[in-house]
Amino acid sequence: MVAGRRIFIAYLAYFSAIGAAFPYLPVFYRDLGLTLQEIGLLTAIQAATQLLFGPIWGGLVDRFPKTRLTLPAAALVAAGGAALLFRADDFAGVLQGSVLLFAGLAGVGPTLDSRTLETLGPRARDRYGQVRAFGSLWFVVSTLLVGLVLAANGSRSLFWIYIPALLATVAVTSTIARRGSSRSVSLFRGATDILSAPGMLLLFGGITVVWTALTAVNAFYSIQIVALGGNNSLVGVAWAVGATVEVPLMYAFPRLAARFGTERLFVLGAVAMATRAILASLAATPIGLVIIAPIEGLAFACVFVGGVTLLAARTPASLGGTVQGLFSASAGLAAIIGSISGGEIAGALGIPGLFALCSALGLIGTAILAVVVLGPRGLPAMALAERAAATVRPARSDGPASVPAEPAAAVLPPD
């Protein structure tokens, strides 16, 4: 399938960019002379941008189900922000560039996931993890290669790879045809109906708590490796090791879910996040942080792939972009909380103290998720579909009348 191959290439391009920047941006900020509190504030502002724009980009995907421009537009905005960030030499310059960067990134990841689910169609539940695994594999390759570049040329050189990779994402995603229906969905009504469906608000609340603990740890993980005596190459190794574990887990996720249940794997990932945080608080050497890095791969694979597939299975296709945008927005809200409080806590108690508190917070979030998805009633799908059907309205068209909203029975059943 041509669209499937282009989706695959899009993941390679996008995760080349993520591998070049995600592990190293905190080090770049530190090299510019930013304090821990400033880095925490900056990360919170970036997250607020993601929180604002994530649902907007996702809603635009559903509002204009035939256009292919939404995804490359988001990647182009991100590339422009990265270019500004490359030229920055103080907090004000970093702030300007990163706001534009994260306004674009808020639409790339969730929209690419939504387009992948759309392209895979009925096979999405079984194939999404396998497709996403190749993105994590390329993240590993990019992270290791960029670590070598940074070791020789300094942290600013990450943009030598980051900006071209984002532009490649623009080019590839602009060629992927849409397979959406001729229906369009009201942007805000769709999000409201999703959140008002039984169990969904509590689910997103639990996800936000878990993401808060994770993002606070991740924001200072690379910095702690360097603080304990490691270098940029070791930072790259730590993140690459974690992502390496993601690859087989994501690829095998459909088989694992068939045996153990998506919900159980989802909760297991949250438990792993809390475990990694407490072990990181006890690490006394940079090698110790590298050794426990694989736990992050297990945690992220289960929570992310489990979350995407769980939400897709309980949401009608006409709201697929919106629900993935909300999933991204929950991470944005979590990063606001985690980054602001994380910077202050790290400044007062040290980074190990921050990691220990994140472990406790992660366990609270895990308990919430377990109640929602593993409780006696589980998380229903049919009620959501029936409510969401009311948000669908005919798209503007010069051709024949639009087809009616899909029936609730079209929604995949829960595990």
Rg (CA), the chain: 20
Query: Hey, what amino acid is at 76?
Result: L
The token duo for 158 is 């990450």
CA angle 222, 224, 228 (to 5 degrees): 125
DSSP letter for each residue of 224-244 = HHHHTT--HHHHHHHHHHHHH
Give the pLDDT of residue 395: 39
CB contact set of 33 (below 8 Å; sequence gap of 6+): none
Alpha-carbon span 52 to 230, nearest angstrom: 36
3-state class (DSSP) for residue 185: strand
Average pLDDT over residues 277-302: 92
Q: CA nearest 355: which of 365, 364, 346, 344?
A: 346
Alpha-carbon span 139 to 115, nearest angstrom: 20
Give the pLDDT of residue 382: 33
CB neighbour burial string for 172-184, b if at least 16 within 10 angstroms, e if fewer: bbbebebebbebb
DSSP count for the chain of H helices, then E strands: 18, 2
Alpha-carbon span 415 to 374, nearest angstrom: 11
Alpha-carbon span 291 to 280, nearest angstrom: 10
The residue assigned the tokens 């910095």 is 223
Whether the per-residue pLDDT at 215 is higher than 70: the answer is yes
CB contact set of 92 (below 8 Å; sequence gap of 6+): none
Q: Where are the extended beta strands (E) located within 253-390?
A: none
Alpha-carbon span 375 to 366, nearest angstrom: 13
DSSP letter for each residue of 117-134 = HHHHGGGHHHHHHHHHHH
Average pLDDT over residues 3-12: 82
Bridge partners for 392 per DSSP: 185
Which tens digit of pLDDT belongs to each residue from 117-156?
A: 777 766 655 577 777 788 878 888 888 888 888 888 888 9
Query: Hey, what amino acid is at 410?
Result: A
Which tens digit of pLDDT belongs to each residue from 11-31?
A: 899 989 988 888 888 889 988
CATH of segment(s) 2-394: 1.20.1250.20
Whether the per-residue pLDDT at 412 is higher than 60: the answer is no
Element (H, E) at 87: helix 70-87
Which tens digit of pLDDT belongs to each residue from 220-273?
A: 888 899 889 988 778 888 888 887 888 888 888 888 988 898 889 999 999 999
Q: CA nearest 238: which of 289, 299, 277, 295?
A: 289
Alpha-carbon span 17 to 305, nearest angstrom: 20
Alpha-carbon span 44 to 196, nearest angstrom: 27
Which carries the bigger pLDDT value, residue 349 or residue 320? Answer: 349
Which tens digit of pLDDT belongs to each residue from 299-341?
A: 988 998 888 888 877 777 667 667 777 887 787 788 778 777 8
The ranges assigned to domains in the chain are 2-394
Burial of 364 (0-12, 13-18, 19+ CB in 10 A): middle
Whether the per-residue pLDDT at 197 is higher than 50: the answer is yes
- In the chain, pLDDT over 70 holds for what percent of residues? 83
- In the chain, pLDDT over 90 holds for what percent of residues? 27
Whether the per-residue pLDDT at 62 is higher than 80: the answer is no
- Mean residue pLDDT across the chain: 79
Q: CA nearest 301: which of 360, 246, 236, 383?
A: 246
The token duo for 378 is 């589980």
